[in-house]
Amino acid sequence: MPVIRIPQEYNEEELYVALEPIFGRSLYLKCEGFNFAGSIKLKAASEMVRAAERDGVLTRSSVLVESTSGNLGVALSMIAASKGYRLLCVTDAHCNRSTRRLMEALGSRVHVVAAPDAKGGLLGARLNYVRALCAADDRCVWLNQHANPHNWKAHYRSTAPAIARQFPQLDVLFVGAGTTGTLMGCARYFRERHRRVRIVAVDSVGSVTFGGAPGRRMIPGLGTSVRPQLLDESYVDEVVHVEERDAVRTCHRLARYGFLFGGSTGTVVSGAMGWLTRHGEEGLTAVTIAPDLGERYLDTIYQTNWLQDLYGEDLLNADQPTADLRSA
């Protein structure tokens, strides 16, 4: 029986869903949403806070400031509450309302950036706001998930070894690309410490992470409007881009079987299934990662009016993915 004293001490690391009964192809989905922060971002948040404390950067007089699309903000809010730190989360209008309310319920202040930066979009505007705050107040400590190496180190030390333990004969790992912390941590681990594993990054159409043209993206979590500083493409074997329409369809298909996951999970599963269909190799051991669960998306990807306004009334009439595959 686990007994904990602070919420970040608990994280379920060994739960997988076999997706073959739903999609007809063998793929194991690592579920990362079963902790008190509700997402995989707890790992990066914990690692970055520990490093800042160890280096003497973060003290009781500090004010944590972080740019977040949602889940990291919740994880940091939980940790800040447990440790007595003040936290300001800087997000934008694409952040789910329930996620913003979670951050506030945990005691954090939330600033919502409304206008995109001319070159960097909403993410660029968030980063500019955080930089201005830090320049104006030396109490501000910016962990900066977009450039902090402890982001990817968290997954090098935890996520990737956990997958390797469960799947010693792993052939291909599909990882969603946001800040690329999870992607880079897992890719480095399997390149340096384990048997050769094919690393396939899954990104959203409209993201500039891998050099694509910027476009409208409404689902938070994956994709960027500013190239991530953590990204090293030499560790990535292939890249799959997924349309948001396909990510939503995949989420609803999973929900019809009782599995309610978030938009990032719909994206990576759609991309993985498209890749597996294209390659048609039998007997592959394939794993992907579900960053969170679906409750925070009830007002968006699981809300009929929201979907119809953005994607049209026929969105859920087709289940076939149209993922675009290109080599990195």
Task: Sketch out the chain's domains with CATH numbers.
Answer: 7-31+156-327 (3.40.50.1100), 41-142 (3.40.50.1100)
- Residue 202 tokens read as 């899954």
User: Going by C-beta distance under 8 Å and a sequence separation of 6 or more, which residues neighbour residue 229?
Assistant: 146, 147
User: Going by C-beta distance under 8 Å and a sequence separation of 6 or more, which residues neighbour residue 308?
Assistant: 315
Do the Cβ atoms of 55 and 158 come closer than 8 Å? no
| pLDDT for position 159 | 98
Strand order of the sheet with strand 63-67? 109-113, 86-92, 63-67, 140-142
Chain centroid to Cα 155, Å, comes to: 12
Q: Among residues of the chain, what percentage have pLDDT more than 90?
A: 82
Q: In angstroms, rounded to a whole number, what is the distance separating the alpha carbons of residues 183 and 187?
A: 6
The yes-or-no verdict on residue 327 having pLDDT over 50 is no
Which 8-state DSSP code applies to residue 117?
Answer: B
Coil, strand or helix: which one is 229?
coil
- Residue 130 tokens read as 């955080």
Chain centroid to Cα 236, Å, comes to: 17
Rounded mean pLDDT of the chain?
A: 93
Which DSSP helix (H) or strand (E) runs through 155? helix 149-157
Are β-strands 238-242 and 324-327 bridged in parallel, bridged antiparallel, or unpaired? antiparallel
Which tens digits make up the pLDDT trace of 270-301?
Answer: 999 999 999 987 889 999 999 999 999 999 99
- Residue 295 tokens read as 């409750």
Q: In angstroms, rounded to a whole number, what is the distance separating the alpha carbons of residues 327 and 321?
A: 18
DSSP string, 44-55: HHHHHHHHHHHT
Q: In angstroms, rounded to a whole number, what is the distance separating the alpha carbons of residues 238 and 312?
A: 31
Which tens digits make up the pLDDT trace of 242-261?
Answer: 999 999 999 999 999 999 99
Other CB atoms within 10 A of residue 16 CB:
16
| pLDDT for position 321 | 47
Which tens digits make up the pLDDT trace of 189-239?
Answer: 999 976 789 999 999 999 999 998 999 998 888 898 889 999 999 999 999
DSSP string, 257-270: TT--B-HHHHHHHH
Which 8-state DSSP code applies to residue 207?
Answer: -
Helices and strands counted in the chain (H then E): 11, 11
